[in-house]
Amino acid sequence: MIKFLESPSSRGLGHHPLTVKTGVQIPQETVWKKMWNRELFKKMLFGDKIAVIAGGTGGHVIAAENFASFFDFDLFVEKRCTKFLRRGLNNVFIYNFNGSKFLMFLKMFFTFLKLIKDLWKYNTVILFGSIYIIPAFLAAVFLRKNIVIHEQNAMMGLTNRIIQPFAKRVLLSFKETKYASKSKSDIFGLPVTFKNFTIKKKNKNQKKYILVIAGSGGADFFDNIVTPKVVKFALVNNMKVFCQVKCYKKFHNTEDIQYSSFFTNIEELVSGAFFIINRSGAGSLALIQMYKKKAITIPWSGAKNNHQFFNGKASGQIVIEEKDIDNLEDAMNFLFYSSEEDEIKSDLCVFKIEENSFEVL
């Protein structure tokens, strides 16, 4: 659901905070592929000198990296989170805001000073993340830069709620986001890179598979409770399983059951899965939605403000809370016997990046 306030030809290419609003539906092909190109969209949204800053979880960093790489913006990543980068460390600025809580405020001060030096040349900073982006926010305020925040969850986190009054724009991933300012917000989507995989014709003897994505938060629950239930179900129903687990060394790989702490080909696995069982992080939900897959989401009970529960509900997928995990087998049976063509109605929007083009789904 996208409406352009003004056509590209009706105004100059100077800074304009954002030209996309939710509203009347326009065919995506017309809007994104014919009317716009990447450079024009980049200039009309944010200006010329842009810094993207990320810290917090893998979901924040991967989305920021996709976004910065596509628009050719400079990317700043908190040191602890560099392990989540998919394209390496080339052209990535690293700042250090990691350590014990005792040293947190001291490190915040020194990081703030460093970022003042690094960010002075930019006119806009775009923030992806949690408390780890606070030094960048303070530096941007001190330098009087334009601030844009990206909120990937259905409930705005505390850090973004603190920053929101100082922000020029708020880019949302969900159509309805609790605590988001209506006057500043625009539905932008969660940046995800699309990879088109050649689908091989399945023979009658080729087994379908379930993909389990544990996520970083509360992974022990998946290792100890969820994964054994899924493996048992798969063996009974002659299926394969690919399991992302925290302590993969304690599991034994077989021909049909594969364990790993990290799958480098996660997009390919998602695209070919019969159904998926995952946490309710916005990044994994966006990936699942982009490839039009069905999933059972199990929100992490330790997530702040229970935001994963709201993500799962808004995604249109099946949601099972940890306390109701005994219902997992019934949910798997439901997906096993349901039609793959059934449409999923979701409030999550995906900023789909494909080579040199993009569209909002």
Q: Would residue 353 count as lying in a domain? A: no
158 with 235, same domain: the answer is no
75 with 117, same domain: the answer is yes
Q: What is the pLDDT of residues 16-42, one digit of tens each?
A: 333 333 333 333 333 333 334 566 656
139 with 258, same domain: the answer is no
From residue 359, how far is each of 28, 101, 125, 270, 292 by CA, in Å?
Answer: 7, 41, 23, 20, 15
Q: In this structure, what are the phi and psi dihedrals at residue 315, rounded to the nearest 5 degrees? A: -75, -15
Place of tokens 């306390």: 323
123 with 224, same domain: the answer is no
Query: What's this model's pTM, rounded to 2 decimal places?
Result: 0.80
Q: In this structure, what are the phi and psi dihedrals at residue 275, rounded to the nearest 5 degrees? A: -155, 170
Element (H, E) at 290: helix 282-290
Q: Would residue 20 count as lying in a domain? A: no
Q: Would residue 82 count as lying in a domain? A: yes
151 with 223, same domain: the answer is no
Q: According to the 3-state scheme, what is the secondary structure of 38-81?
A: HHHHHHHHHCCCEEEEEECCHHHHHHHHHHHHHHCCEEEEEHHH
Determine the Cα–Cα distance for residues 103 and 257; give it in Å rounded to an integer. 43
Q: What is the pLDDT along the chain (361 residues), one digit of tens a residue?
A: 222 222 223 222 233 333 333 333 333 333 333 334 566 656 655 667 889 999 877 788 889 999 988 888 899 988 777 777 766 665 566 666 555 566 777 778 888 888 999 999 998 999 998 888 899 999 999 999 999 999 999 999 999 999 999 999 899 999 999 999 999 998 889 999 888 776 555 555 688 999 998 876 557 888 889 999 999 999 999 999 999 877 666 777 888 998 888 787 888 999 999 999 999 989 999 999 999 999 999 998 888 788 899 999 999 999 999 999 999 999 999 999 987 667 788 999 998 888 766 777 7
Bridge-based pairing of strands 209-213 and 357-360 is unpaired
Q: Would residue 103 count as lying in a domain? A: yes
Q: What is the pLDDT of residues 34-82, one digit of tens each?
A: 334 566 656 655 667 889 999 877 788 889 999 988 888 899 988 777 7
Which residues, in sequence order, are CB contacts of 86 under 8 Å at separation 6+?
Answer: 62, 65
In this predicted structure, what is the pLDDT of residue 47? 66
86 with 175, same domain: the answer is yes
Q: Would residue 220 count as lying in a domain? A: yes
Q: Would residue 260 count as lying in a domain? A: yes
277 with 322, same domain: the answer is yes
Which residues, in sequence order, are CB contacts of 330 under 8 Å at separation 6+?
Answer: none
The amino acid occupying position 173 is: S
116 with 158, same domain: the answer is yes
> What is residue 14's three-state secondary structure?
coil
CATH number where 301 lies: 3.40.50.2000
**Residues facing 94 on adjacent strands:** 77
Determine the Cα–Cα distance for residues 291 and 82; give it in Å rounded to an integer. 26
Residue 128 belongs to domain spanning: 49-188
When divided into structural domains, the chain yields a total of 2
69 with 172, same domain: the answer is yes
In this predicted structure, what is the pLDDT of residue 82? 75
